[in-house]
């Protein structure tokens, strides 16, 4: 229960789709916005812009899949999502540990990715 309402698998799937679509669209159309969240003190390099645009396209398709694909495909997408977002958590932790980003940024990135892992897990069907 969240605020008196039941939080269902469908809510988790829709939430993860929304996160993916927002981040994907930003990555594709406005990569500087996301880059500034990671590295606010440096102008974005062409390589970073390129990488965030590639990330954006992939992430848009992953978000759309959660909304329009058959249930079995969504289930596989969520299973892959645990690995995808789990690797994002590990990357953010490593960036923070190596002091490649400020600790606060690393914690923020890890938190966002951990939320995505949780949404993917909640969105999966329970095995009997």
- 3-class state of residue 94 by DSSP: helix
Q: What is the dihedral of CA 34, 40, 44, 49, to 10 degrees?
A: -10
What's the sign of the alpha-carbon dihedral 8, 10, 14, 16?
positive
- 3-class state of residue 16 by DSSP: helix
* CA nearest to 121, candidates 2, 15, 38: 15
pLDDT of residue 42: 82
pLDDT of residue 5: 56
pLDDT of residue 2: 54
> Mean pLDDT per segment of 10 residues, for the chain of length 128 residues?
67 95 97 89 90 95 92 90 95 95 92 95 80
Contact 81, 16 (CB under 8 A): yes
**Per-residue tokens: 54:** 């590639």
Contact 110, 116 (CB under 8 A): no
pLDDT of residue 1: 52
pLDDT of residue 39: 82
pLDDT of residue 98: 96
pLDDT of residue 37: 85
């Amino acid at each position: 229960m969240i605020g008196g309402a039941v939080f269902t698998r469908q809510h988790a799937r829709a939430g993860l789709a929304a996160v993916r679509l927002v981040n994907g669209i930003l990555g594709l159309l406005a990569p500087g916005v996301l880059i500034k969240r990671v590295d606010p003190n440096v102008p974005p390099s062409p390589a970073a812009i390129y990488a965030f645009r590639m990330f954006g396209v992939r992430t848009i398709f992953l978000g759309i899949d959660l909304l329009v694909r058959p249930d079995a495909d969504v289930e596989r997408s969520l299973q892959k999502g645990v690995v995808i977002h789990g690797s994002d958590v590990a990357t953010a932790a490593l960036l923070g540990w190596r002091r490649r980003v400020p600790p606060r940024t690393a914690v923020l990135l890890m938190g966002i990715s951990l939320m995505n892992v949780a949404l993917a897990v909640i969105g999966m069907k329970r095995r009997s």
